[in-house]
Amino acid sequence: MGTELNIKVRSNLVNKYKGGYPLITKQVMDHTGSVEEGMLFNLVDEKNSFIGKGYYGKQNKGYGWVLTKNKDEKIDQPFFERKIRTAIDKRKSFFRDEETTAFRVFNGEGDGIGGFTIDYFDGYYLINWYSEGIYTFNEHVITSLKNLVEYKAIYQKKRFREDGKFIEEDGFVDGERGQFPILVKENGANFAVYFNEEAMVGVFLDQRDVRKTIRDKYAQGKTVLNTFSYTGAFSVFAALGGAVKTTSVDLANRSLPKTIEQFSVNGIDYEAQDIIVEDVFHYFKYAVKKNLKFDMVILDPPSFARSKKFSFSAEKDYKNLLKEAIAITENNGIIVASTNSASFDMKKFKGFIDAAFKESNSKYSIVEEFSLPKDFETIKQFKEGNYLKVAFIKKLKG
């Protein structure tokens, strides 16, 4: 261990890391000389006593992750295998569930190693790598999977820049190449999933419980507007739950064929649904002009988005987005407000909701709340890791 780099943590941060905070922040790296992606180091306090061992890996969130607080624990293949085995054991009930064949198997720091995730799609394992640093350990992770599970194939996606750009590859690692789309199940519904197109595979698994709730408790007999609809996953569940009509709005051209496909693999006549390729902020204006109102409006914007005319940041603009939705929601209708922004918490999100209704002279009550589902394991020392916040808001009369 003598050759390992020691990084001294500023005194005001020592307790945080001793308490198990896993992310290596900019402050920690500030006075450190050159470090390479994947390099292991010890965090130490002012007296050089050991706090934890981590690796360097620059990603959008920070500069790497603490891996262990045990000085003697080696960061080797068995280390990765132990963590992944524990993660798999925690998901036993998911592996047994025949109605749901797509879920997260390993959720980064929530399962003990930040910087990568593993998702399961009906026998296929997809690894997402979020830094070059964690990718230097890729053989350890792949060997662990080979030792621990049976699979049709392992795929991977590098979600970091190499030489300043994202390298496009099909990501096949081992097993037998899949025929895309592969069809997976979620609470009995179908999704078509592609590993070979772009970063996103066609469905965001973290919204599973929200989709089920829309289908089972809220959709029957309702008109539903799904904004930022991507492949229309919420619309599919609303239609399966008996919605009279769904309207899906997304700016991306691909959303039209993708949404048609998701309806079709569920036996839903897509021609009875509206699928609109348009800026949602433009659509809101159109809806107001035409006096359109919906029983349910779903808002699931990205944390940041820029279109030709508008730029959107969840933290700055969510309140106004809600006001647009309130204006076209029927009395006693439901607004499903969702955000995956890690830069604010549920309390602040509820503040946006409250302000939006006040400024709209409208009343409301929150009838359901969601954060990440069980397979997206999180740890209490890293609250930002539980980024998902969803509120079902009933717009009350008067």
Where does this chain bind ligand SAH (CB under 6 A)?
204, 207, 228-231, 233-234, 249-252, 255, 279-281, 300, 302, 305, 307, 310
Radius of gyration over alpha carbons of the chain, in Å? 23
- The nearer residue to ligand SAH, 132 or 324, going by C-beta atoms, is 324
We find the least distance from the C-beta atom of residue 203 to ligand SAH, in angstroms, to be 6
Q: What angle do CA 85, 182, 378 make, to 5 degrees?
A: 35
We find the least distance from the C-beta atom of residue 187 to ligand SAH, in angstroms, to be 15
- The nearer residue to ligand SAH, 67 or 249, going by C-beta atoms, is 249
C-alpha 300/C-alpha 297 separation (Å) is 10
We find the least distance from the C-beta atom of residue 181 to ligand SAH, in angstroms, to be 15
Q: Which amino acid is at 372?
A: L
Backbone angles phi, psi at 257, to 5 degrees: -60, -35
Which two tokens mark 62? 């920070």
Residue 397 CB partners (closer than 8 Å, separation 6+): 331, 332, 363
- The nearer residue to ligand SAH, 117 or 255, going by C-beta atoms, is 255
- The nearer residue to ligand SAH, 144 or 248, going by C-beta atoms, is 248
Q: Name the packing angle between helices 255-264 and 233-240 (round to 10°).
A: 30
We find the least distance from the C-beta atom of residue 228 to ligand SAH, in angstroms, to be 4
Q: Which amino acid is at 327?
A: A
- The nearer residue to ligand SAH, 34 or 60, going by C-beta atoms, is 60
C-alpha 222/C-alpha 333 separation (Å) is 9
As beta bridge partners, residue 240 has none
C-alpha 112/C-alpha 119 separation (Å) is 16
We find the least distance from the C-beta atom of residue 277 to ligand SAH, in angstroms, to be 9
C-alpha 312/C-alpha 165 separation (Å) is 24
* 28 membership: H or E segment, kind and range: helix 26-29
C-alpha 248/C-alpha 339 separation (Å) is 18
- The nearer residue to ligand SAH, 88 or 219, going by C-beta atoms, is 219
Parallel, antiparallel or unpaired: strands 304-306 and 311-313: antiparallel
**Residue 131: count of CB within 10 angstroms of its CB:** 27
Backbone angles phi, psi at 348, to 5 degrees: -65, -40
We find the least distance from the C-beta atom of residue 155 to ligand SAH, in angstroms, to be 20
We find the least distance from the C-beta atom of residue 341 to ligand SAH, in angstroms, to be 12
Q: Closest Cα partner for 115 from 162, 67, 148?
A: 67
- The nearer residue to ligand SAH, 44 or 305, going by C-beta atoms, is 305
- The nearer residue to ligand SAH, 127 or 314, going by C-beta atoms, is 314
C-alpha 318/C-alpha 303 separation (Å) is 9
- The nearer residue to ligand SAH, 145 or 249, going by C-beta atoms, is 249
- The SS3 assignment for 272 reads helix
